[in-house]
Amino acid sequence: MQLLALLRLASFLVLASLVESGYAGLFRRQCQATLNTATAVARRLQDHYYRTSSGQYDGGSLWTDSNTLEDLHNLMLAAGSNDFSTVADNSFLGRAALNPNTNWESFLGGSNDDAQWHILALWKIADYKGARGLDNSAYIRSAGKIYDIIAGQWDTQCGGGVWWSTAHTYKNAITNQLFLLTSASGFIRFRNQTYLDNAKKEWDWLRNSGMRNSQGLFNDGLDFNTCQNNGQTAWTYNQAVVASGLGALAAATGDRSLLNEAEISLDATIAHLSTNNILRETCDNAAGPATCNQDQQIFKVSSLFLPPRS
Ligand X SMILES: *[C@@H]1O[C@H](CO)[C@@H](O)[C@H](O)[C@H]1NC(C)=O
Binding site for ligand X (CB under 6 A): 144, 147-148, 192, 194
Q: Min. distance of Cβ 179 from ligand X in angstroms?
A: 12
List Cα–Cα distances, 140 to 20, 77, 181, in angstroms. Answer: 20, 17, 16
CB of 41 or CB of 97, closer to ligand X: 97
Contact 149, 160 (CB under 8 A): no
Q: Min. distance of Cβ 119 from ligand X in angstroms?
A: 11
CB of 135 or CB of 148, closer to ligand X: 148
Q: Min. distance of Cβ 147 from ligand X in angstroms?
A: 5
Q: Within its chain, how far is the Cα of 275 from the centroid?
A: 23
CB of 190 or CB of 224, closer to ligand X: 190
What's phi and psi for 192, nearest 5 deg? -100, 120
Q: Min. distance of Cβ 89 from ligand X in angstroms?
A: 24
CB of 110 or CB of 144, closer to ligand X: 144
Contact 128, 88 (CB under 8 A): yes
The three state secondary structure string of 94-138 is HHHHHCCCCCHHHHHCCECCHHHHHHHHHHHHHHHHHHCCCCCHH
How far, in Å, CA of 304 to CA of 15, rounded?
Answer: 10
CB closest to ligand X, residue no: 192
Q: Min. distance of Cβ 144 from ligand X in angstroms?
A: 5
Q: Min. distance of Cβ 88 from ligand X in angstroms?
A: 22
CB of 200 or CB of 212, closer to ligand X: 200
In the chain, alpha helices (H): 2-18, 24-49, 62-79, 87-90, 92-98, 104-108, 114-131, 137-151, 173-190, 193-208, 236-253, 257-272, 294-302
CB of 148 or CB of 204, closer to ligand X: 148
